[in-house]
Chain A
């Protein structure tokens, strides 16, 4: 590639921004007794290094599950073990059993930050670069611009390098991206393997699993279930089973082990939501405290039904008409459905929606940029708690400028470029005067941006009234949730009308 140096420059910019953000504070810095997610990660290194594998997920005198017990799948634990070996080499105090609790030092922070950077450099960044290089339909310049925008996405940078998420998002998202890459370019086995690794790294990746499943199933159907399709299906099934077996090997020896890990991974006895999340349940509780009114099992059933119904149409569409483009959009809408309606959602889970949105950045630059800004904004209360205001604002502005200059987003707001052409045409059959959609969307964007700016300013400068100490964070969640609902509708419209559009030219042919 002739422009490799620009690509290198772009990756280096991404890395520099990541490292500069990592100089800031992290979650729970100097806040005993529980500290924060940073301590959780360190604690897992301590546990995995000092205890035999059978005791990792069990409560014992050496492993108090109430204190940041391991609640992620085995791959995370292996990764922690690997980091622990390096830590042991540098300074054994960092992971000494019991005595290292709450260990904090400048050198240790540097070590932890470096582990994130290395994981990112090995898994996420190559996936992004490769994904964009493989895009055939856009020019080289646009591909480089896309890499820049994806690497500058502030949400991921701030959570991984600022907040220090208790799991390396870049690893799980990176694996998922490798999965998307594989599946989109017909290396199905590789794709499904990568995606299995993603799930085994972080169970939240299940948000993406249905589109993967539907897309691969659709592919099999397309090839004919009696011939090649069946072979592919068998191969896929074997890959998935083998990958899972490999990851879970040490835990499959006893039934109790497996069950305990599963119990740790899916803590259904926790509430419908924790803290402040920009999803429907949390926002709805402003009016009605569902959490207190409904019994626990009903909450689970309701949330399950809502999630299932909300993602059903997109998934069916994808199974019937599998296409890489439809796949990406379905990934967005499914992850968004999960985020909005499912049980026990974290505010950081929005990153799972953001990843596929990043992938469609060049298709619908305007809407993607908007969504990615809102998604970062929705984590504002969390970021403020970690004193990350400055890097948040700066990276958001940088991301916005990068998107605006490289995709000139404000010139791409016609119906065509919003991918709403076919939808508008169908609506116009009933309402001929339906031509104002792009204008409305543009105004909504302005309105949304102004609210975000105002809310940020208010949160930072004003003290909330004494009666409502959480006023601003609730408002942030509520506003973000409204935005997300709008996006959910938008993406579903694209999916539903896009496949129709895809069939039409064939009919003409």
Chain B
């Protein structure tokens, strides 16, 4: 009885929020799932039934193992539970197998591993100072932050409808951020190293970790003006950090090094043969670039400046994930995107090095890294926006300016996930959940910062409101028009271009705010 009271007491809002969203996830079990479901089933089968030496060679299914070794081990561990549900799903040749027990197992594996995410959110809530706490529970920064993270729209639909394991991976990242906030640097570094070997997409934010740990952990002191004191360098710290990273990598890649398979593993992890944009364009710089190219080519054809026979037939929106040529503008190579990404990341890195602002500065740099690589990366998935959205939530409850950037980024980023769910039964779910999250995040942050200047100017308000008509047009009007057969790609094109504008704007504003922020020394004087 006492335990019941503790578990359900009024003060225990956090567990209620976490349990509530977990139950919602359970309700989402019968929804549509994408091919990623089959991808992970296949990986379960590969890791369960084949020896390690075959993991990165097996190619019966087109969905080969292309995550780092820790994820493979994770699937291996899951497969030992899976065999009690349905032995058949562990057969490599059972392509597209999805019995109801398989479905139940896979869905529950995501829901259960999300426990790590919940714990990470709990830790994050402990380490944000936020604004001074209001009287009302619903106006406390901690409450708002935990709703923003636990009930995050993107995670819900990508993990629990579309099917992926972002929940516990994001949990690892948030946990390592929280550890850095709590000055437990070694733990933070360890967790991030582990995370890298779970999913290498987190390499995007690795520069932020590296520079921050080097600058603010290995150098133990600053000069009074905030610049670096070179003689305070601690070799012990650097070596212990290096050791951690080395040990984790050895554990992960060692077996494959021993088997002499490292080149094969890397060729699986970094498939540069895929196209610049994913089937559906992620709303980034390249979407704008390609759209511009498209517009120019149409204009060129109209004005007879271009020869119709020279225009390549395979248009970018036809849905094939292949190489393709831009018509007017120069085509983009992987190397070009890499250089663009590096250039975009550099200023934030410099900022982190020359005017360190403690963990908050690190967090901003991390978000900028994630966003910059989202903007300019090669073959970016629209889901990668979550990499920036989740850490940004931490910033949003701290300052009004950050809250405003967060809201624009989140709303457009989340809206750009809509094309992931294209089936009719899921349409109400995505709209309802999106409304729920957007209305809550905007209103609660507005309430939190009601004493400061309004979060949006008229232009931003107009832009965000425009998402409504866009959705109505794409999902309710367009399918009934005659263009549907001729130009089936228009809704996707509109969505990604419209969202790209918002995300670019948010990225730009965040950059400006980071670069124009006075260094720590000066803020203290004020």
Binding site for B on A (CB under 8 A): 3, 5-6, 8-9, 12-13, 15-17, 19-21, 23-24, 106-107, 110, 117, 141, 390-391, 394-395, 397-398, 401-402, 404-406, 408-411, 442, 446
Contact = CB atoms under 8 A, between A and B. Distances in A.
A446 B20 contact: no
Nearest to B434: A12
8 contacts: A5-B440, A12-B439, A16-B429, A397-B23, A401-B8, A405-B10, A405-B13, A410-B1
B23 A20 contact: no
B211 interface: no
A440 to B, nearest CB: 14
Nearest to B11: A408
B26 A117 contact: no
B26 A390 contact: yes
Nearest to B27: A20
A111 to B, nearest CB: 10
Nearest to B139: A3
A6 B147 CA distance: 12
Interface in B27-69: 27-31
Contact of B8 (A24, A117, A391, A408): A408
B73 to A, nearest CB: 30
Contacts of A107: 424
Q: Which of A401, A408, A446 has the most CB of B within 10 A?
A: A401
B27 A408 contact: no
Given A16-B24, A390-B29, A394-B26, A410 B138 contact: no
Given A9-B439, A408-B8, A398 B28 contact: no
A63 to B, nearest CB: 32
B297 interface: no
A24 B330 CA distance: 50
Nearest to A22: B425
Given A19-B432, A23-B425, A411-B5, 17 more contacts: A9-B436, A12-B435, A13-B436, A15-B428, A17-B24, A19-B429, A20-B24, A20-B30, A20-B31, A107-B424, A117-B428, A390-B29, A397-B19, A397-B23, A406-B10, A410-B8, A411-B9
Q: Which of B1, B4, B424, B425 has the most CB of A within 10 A?
A: B425
A409 B31 CA distance: 34
Contacts of A391: 27
Interface in B416-441: 424-425, 428-429, 432-433, 435-436, 439-440
Contacts of A390: 26, 29
A402 B10 CA distance: 10
Contacts of B23: 394-395, 397-398, 401
Interface SS of chain A: helix, strand, loop or mixed?
Answer: helix
A5 B16 contact: no
Contact of B433 (A3, A16, A406, A446): A16
Given A13-B436, A23-B425, A405-B16, A394 B5 contact: no
Interface residues of B, number: 34
A117 B428 CA distance: 10
B30 A24 contact: yes
Contacts of B443: 5
A135 to B, nearest CB: 19
Contacts of B440: 5, 9
B21 to A, nearest CB: 10
A16 B26 contact: no
A21 B20 CA distance: 15
A5 B8 contact: no
B429 A20 contact: yes
B96 interface: no
| Shortest Cβ-Cβ A-B pairs, 8 listed | A5-B443, A404-B8, A20-B27, A405-B16, A408-B10, A12-B436, A398-B23, A16-B432
A391 B10 CA distance: 25
A398 B19 CA distance: 8
Contacts of A19: 428-429, 432
Interface in B62-89: none
A16 B24 CA distance: 9
Contacts of B26: 390, 394
Given A5-B440, A12-B439, A398-B23, A410 B4 contact: yes
A401 B20 CA distance: 8
B12 interface: yes
Contact of B27 (A15, A17, A404, A442): A17
A384 to B, nearest CB: 16
B444 interface: yes
Contacts of A408: 8-10
B432 A12 contact: yes
B153 to A, nearest CB: 11
B439 A23 contact: no
B20 to A, nearest CB: 6
Interface in B384-410: none
Given A23-B425, A402-B20, A405-B12, A15 B30 contact: no
Contact of B31 (A9, A23, A395): A23
A23 B9 contact: no
A141 B13 CA distance: 14
Contacts of A402: 16, 20
A17 B31 CA distance: 13
Contacts of A8: 439
Contacts of A24: 30
A263 B23 CA distance: 45
Contacts of B24: 16-17, 20, 398
Q: Which of B23, B429, B436, B447 has the most CB of A within 10 A?
A: B23
A18 B20 CA distance: 15
B444 A5 contact: yes
B439 A5 contact: yes
A56 B14 CA distance: 55
A6 B29 contact: no
Contacts of A12: 432-433, 435-436, 439
Q: Which of A107, A390, A404 has the most CB of B within 10 A?
A: A404
A338 B158 CA distance: 48
Interface in B176-228: none
A411 B13 CA distance: 16
Contacts of B27: 17, 20-21, 391, 394-395
Contacts of B428: 15, 19, 117
B19 A401 contact: yes
A405 B424 CA distance: 34
A416 B8 CA distance: 21
Contacts of B1: 410, 442, 446
Contact of B432 (A15, A397, A442): A15
A405 B8 contact: yes
A424 B10 CA distance: 28
Q: Which of B5, B8, B19, B435 has the most CB of A within 10 A?
A: B8
Contacts of A17: 24, 27
B147 to A, nearest CB: 9
Contacts of A16: 24, 429, 432-433, 436
A13 B433 CA distance: 8
Nearest to A442: B1
A394 B160 CA distance: 15
A20 B436 CA distance: 15
Contact of B424 (A15, A110, A406, A410): A110
A13 B4 CA distance: 25
A411 B6 CA distance: 11
Nearest to B423: A106
B509 to A, nearest CB: 24
A395 B23 CA distance: 8
Contacts of A6: 138
A177 B27 CA distance: 28
Nearest to A403: B8
Contacts of A15: 428, 432
